Amino acid sequence: MTLVAPLNHSPPLNHSPPLNHSPPLNHYLLSEVIFTNDEAFAEIDVEEARMMLCVCKNAKNNRNIKACIDNAKARDYCKQIINLSMTKTNYEFYNRLLSEFDGASDLNIDSIHKEQVNRIIASVSNECQYVIDGVKHRISIEQIRNFDIYYTQLQKAINVIDRLGIDIDNISEEDRELCDEDEEYYSIKYNRIEIATIYKYNSYVLNMLVNKNKEDEIIKYISTEEYDNTWWNSKTPMIHPI
């Protein structure tokens, strides 16, 4: 008889211990910690801020990210208002005589223009107070810039009057005709009245942001000769309360 030795089932030499499974990472808590650090996003630009808002909802809690987005909104609304005022001015100047806008003038704020303005006002009014104040501030700065341009045009006009040998303190009707016949003076006059008209349309929107219930009173006042003669002298971008 042949004897067969039993197999020896000994454990392998390299026996690994069981894996130790760590708890899953809490990404929500991690993002909350990251976005509570306002200073970490102090230099963020608007595109980066928008991307952050898209990928993580906690980004809206960061002060600098929110301020960046709100500033961009205010800037966009301001551009809409300025472009609307300039477009309206160009349209009116193309279809009417320049003299119709010097002094008391019908700004022709018709139903179409009112609707466009009120659409912007409604959108701005739905924003937070930071955006609303930002729009008012930016338009006010734009109005002051328009004042500076207008004042520069006045200085140029005075130089032309002096060149023509006209006594600025005693201008006759003949002197006015002489000025209007001068190409340089007429160009300056056009620029001056254009800036004044844009200023008036901006004033309409700016004051509607303050009290849209007084729309008719606002339009009536900015169309008067009194306003035409005083806005650039007072350097006041707002005309409320009316």
* Contact criterion met (CB below 8 Å) for 90 and 190: no
- pTM for the predicted model, two decimal places: 0.77
Q: Kindly give the confidence (pLDDT) of every residue in the chain, 242 residues in length, as a single tens digit, with 9 standing for 90 and above.
A: 455 555 555 555 555 555 555 555 444 444 554 555 556 555 666 766 666 666 666 666 667 778 888 889 999 999 999 999 999 999 999 888 888 887 778 899 999 999 999 999 999 999 999 999 999 999 999 998 999 999 999 999 999 999 999 988 888 899 888 998 999 999 999 999 999 999 999 999 999 988 877 889 889 988 888 888 877 766 555 554 44
Burial readout 83-108 (b: 16 or more C-beta within 10 A, e: otherwise): ebbeebbeebbeeeeeebbeeebebe
Q: At what angle do helices 183-210 and 111-125 cross, to 10 degrees?
A: 50
Q: Cβ of 170: how many Cβ atoms within 10 Å?
A: 7
Q: Distance (Å, rounded) from C-alpha 237 to C-alpha 216?
A: 19
AA identity, residue 11: P
Q: Distance (Å, rounded) from C-alpha 193 to C-alpha 102?
A: 6
Query: How far, CA to CA in Å, does 26 sit from each of 95, 189, 200?
Result: 65, 67, 56
